[in-house]
Amino acid sequence: MERQEILDTMNLVMTNKGREPITEEAVATRDANFRSLDFSEVALRIETKLGRELTFDAAAMRNIETVKDVLDFFEKATA
């Protein structure tokens, strides 16, 4: 999946919850107020788009610190 499409999905989750959209990749997910359940929701939305399940260990999620990490993760997971 394209990086921009992943970011759009992240921002859909953010704006649905009344939060500011993310514009910078370098920002920490904590500072962007992007939470671990938001990560799961993005994964579910991507699953719906792709029509297949994404399964991964919680350890992979724990290593994510920045928006860039999230985009890298899903880019790789959907390749």
Is 45 an interacting residue with respect to other proteins (CB under 8 A)?
Answer: yes
**Sole window of 2-10, 20-28, 32-40, 61-69 interacting with other proteins (rule: CB under 8 A):** 32-40
User: What are the Cα distances from residue 74, in Å, to 18, 33, 70?
Assistant: 23, 18, 6
Exactly one of 23, 24, 48, 52 binds other proteins (CB under 8 A); that residue is 48
Q: Minimal CA–CA distance to 25: which of 77, 60, 78, 75? A: 75
Is 35 an interacting residue with respect to other proteins (CB under 8 A)?
Answer: yes
Tokens of 2: 């394209």
Exactly one of 37, 57, 59, 76 binds other proteins (CB under 8 A); that residue is 37
